Amino acid sequence: MSGPTADLFADAALQQPGGREQIGEESYVLRGYALPWIERLLPELRRVLAQSPFRQMVTPGGFTMSAALSSCGDLGWTTDTRGYRYSPLDPRNQQPWPAMPDALRQLAVSAATEAGFSDFLPDACLINRYVPGAKMSLHQDKNERCYSAPVVSVSLGLPATFLFGGHQRADKPQKVSLFHGDVVVWGGVDRLRFHGVMPIKEGEHPVMGPQRINLTFRTAG
């Protein structure tokens, strides 16, 4: 996106009826959308993480990521010195990733529908854990086989400043604050935009403690 359209989205998110904030041509923030689901969601998340705990992964360039990762679903995202990829097995124990709990899948499908993407069939849920100071550098998500499906993300815990860039790494990103319970849906022409997360500020969240956990649902296979 460039020119007048970019300017339109640059300053403030456009308010939409139904509590949708449009942040890109086909991207929406659903403020607090996950809040009614939280009590169902957290015990499931705990079960998943007991089976596949958070771990810090190394990028092909040899850097240890500051965010710790896990996954659930048929496919999980991993990185090591050989590259980035989706795998049906958790490299930590060579066992399948934990199944995607129904509550998580239903939340993601329902949010996607709310944003205009019906028939979302996520097969992977990446779980990122940020402690204060952790960040995610500007990148594109290009390891999924299906770019026509949206990505749905659920923010939990400490707030974050999300960086929403363009299709070129050098495009100046817009900043979007994300809070506990916010759900974001990215799709269509926005699916391959560069994005990242600024370093998380010190803090203690009343429900989640001193951390931010982000769930991202994708159709990867």
Q: Which residue lies nearest ligand MD3, judged by its C-beta?
A: 214
Binding of ligand MD3 by 174 (CB under 6 A): no
Nearer to Fe ion (CB atom), residue 141 or residue 190: 141
Exactly one of 52, 78, 79, 153 binds ligand MD3 (CB under 6 A); that residue is: 153
Nearer to Fe ion (CB atom), residue 40 or residue 84: 84
Give the torsion sign (CA, 36, 164, 55, 218). positive
Residues near 105 by beta carbon (within 8 Å), at least 6 away in sequence? 122, 125, 217
And the tokens for 201?
């500020």
Which window, 2-10, 58-66, 102-110, 192-200, contacts ligand MD3 (CB under 6 A)? 192-200
The C-alpha atoms of residue 201 and residue 29 are separated, in whole angstroms, by 21
Residues near 124 by beta carbon (within 8 Å), at least 6 away in sequence? 71, 73, 74, 75, 76, 77, 86, 144, 217, 218, 219, 220, 221
Exactly one of 44, 123, 141, 182 binds Fe ion (CB under 5 A); that residue is: 141
Binding of ligand MD3 by 126 (CB under 6 A): yes
Nearer to ligand MD3 (CB atom), residue 211 or residue 214: 214
190 binds, among Fe ion, ligand MD3, none (CB under 5 to 8 A by kind): ligand MD3
Exactly one of 193, 217, 219, 220 binds ligand MD3 (CB under 6 A); that residue is: 193
What region does 181 belong to: left with phi over 0, alpha with psi -120 to 50, or beta? left
List, as one string, the DSSP characters of 95-145: EEPPPPPHHHHHHHHHHHHHTT-TT----EEEEEEE-TT--EEEE-----S
Is 190 flagged in the annotation as binding? no
CA torsion angle for 110, 115, 121, 126 (degrees, to 10)? -90
Binding of ligand MD3 by 186 (CB under 6 A): yes
Which window, 41-49, 57-65, 105-113, 189-197, contacts ligand MD3 (CB under 6 A)? 189-197
Residues near 32 by beta carbon (within 8 Å), at least 6 away in sequence? 19, 179, 181, 182
* CB 101, min distance to ligand MD3, A: 19
Exactly one of 68, 216, 217, 220 binds ligand MD3 (CB under 6 A); that residue is: 216
The C-alpha atoms of residue 163 and residue 186 are separated, in whole angstroms, by 13
* Interacting residues toward Fe ion by CB under 5 A: 141
* Interacting residues toward ligand MD3 by CB under 6 A: 126, 128, 136, 141, 151, 153, 186, 190-191, 193, 195, 197, 214, 216
Annotated binding site for Fe cation: 139, 141, 195
